[in-house]
Amino acid sequence: MRVVILISGRGSNMQALLDAGLPVEFACVISNRPDAKGLEIAAAHGVPTVVLNHRDYADRPGFDTALAAEIDAFAPELVILAGFMRVLSDAFVLHYERRLINIHPALLPAFPGLDTHQRALAAGVKLHGCTVHFVTPEVDSGPILAQAAVPVLPNDTQHTLAARVLRQEHRLFPQAVRWCAEGRVTWGEDGRVHVRDSLDAADSALVAPLS
Whether residue 42 is contained in a domain is answered as yes
- The pLDDT confidence band at residue 203, using thresholds 50, 70 and 90, is low
Is residue 194 annotated as part of the catalytic site, yes or no?
no
Which pLDDT value is given to residue 61? 95
Whether residue 33 is contained in a domain is answered as yes
**Cα–Cα distance, 73 to 89 (Å, whole number):** 19
The string of pLDDT tens digits covering residues 90-118 is: 999 999 999 999 999 999 999 999 999 99
Residue range of the domain that includes 164 = 2-195
Whether residue 166 is contained in a domain is answered as yes
Q: What is the DSSP-derived secondary structure letter of residue 56?
A: G
Whether residue 207 is contained in a domain is answered as no
**Cα–Cα distance, 189 to 192 (Å, whole number):** 7
Residues of the chain above pLDDT 90, percent: 92
Whether residue 209 is contained in a domain is answered as no
Whether residue 72 is contained in a domain is answered as yes
3-state secondary structure of 119: helix
3-state secondary structure of 150: strand
Mean pLDDT, the chain, as a whole number?
95
Catalytic residue among 45, 95, 104, 128: 104
3-state secondary structure of 165: helix
**Cα–Cα distance, 104 to 96 (Å, whole number):** 18
Whether residue 206 is contained in a domain is answered as no
**Cα–Cα distance, 75 to 67 (Å, whole number):** 13
Whether residue 200 is contained in a domain is answered as no
- The count of structural domains within the chain is 1
The string of pLDDT tens digits covering residues 4-32 is: 999 999 999 999 999 999 999 999 999 99
pLDDT at 180 over 90: yes
User: Which CATH number does the domain housing residue 170 bear?
Assistant: 3.40.50.170
